[in-house]
């Protein structure tokens, strides 16, 4: 046998569906609820039913919430469009990821260029000073030149 709470919950869901199907013409519309079947002696009494619109924001502070980059309103984290301004958040995330990848590549290129400059300077310096070093150190200077030049 069903409990009163279960019936109220199912009725709330069904009413929400029916309200979504009403024409959006701004006029009053009547919904008639007929309950068929033998449910025994169930007294629903006076009930308040929660009717939700199709667009509910995520719970505040939850891991499913994010801020829309365009309007700043709370939106669902993994939804394609903002429920408030219809901004394409997936495209925004793609553009942000592309920009971050460009920045990382630029930083990597800059680091490699600096490393190349340091090694080139070491190779050039060791090559230029090899003639002024004692004979026993010249082979080391040539080795450093070759190693830094690779």
Supply the pLDDT for residue 133.
Answer: 84
65-67 and 74-76: which strand pairing?
antiparallel
Report the distance separating Cα 8 and Cα 46, nearest Å.
11
Supply the pLDDT for residue 8.
Answer: 72
Mean pLDDT by 10 residues, the chain (150 residues): 68 79 73 64 59 71 90 89 90 94 95 91 86 84 80
Report the distance separating Cα 60 and Cα 70, nearest Å.
19
Report the distance separating Cα 142 and Cα 119, nearest Å.
14
- What are the domain boundaries of the chain? 1-54, 106-149
Contacts of 142 (CB under 8 A, 6+ apart): 126, 127, 130
- Alpha-carbon Rg for the chain, nearest whole angstrom, is 36
């Amino acid at each position: 046998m069903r409990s009163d709470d279960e019936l109220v919950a199912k009725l709330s869901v069904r009413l929400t569906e029916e309200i979504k199907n009403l024409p959006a013409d701004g006029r009053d519309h009547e919904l008639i609820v007929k309950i068929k079947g033998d449910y025994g002696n169930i007294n629903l009494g006076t009930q308040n039913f929660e009717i939700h619109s199709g667009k509910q924001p995520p719970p505040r502070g939850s891991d499913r919430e994010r801020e829309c980059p365009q309007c700043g309103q709370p939106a669902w984290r993994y939804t394609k469009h903002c429920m408030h301004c219809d901004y394409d958040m997936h495209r925004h995330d793609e553009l942000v990821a592309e920009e971050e990848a460009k920045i990382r590549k630029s930083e990597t290129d800059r680091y490699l260029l600096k490393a190349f400059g340091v090694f080139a300077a070491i190779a050039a310096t060791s090559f230029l000073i090899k003639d002024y070093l004692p004979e026993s150190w010249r082979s080391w200077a040539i080795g450093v030149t070759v190693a830094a030049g690779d």
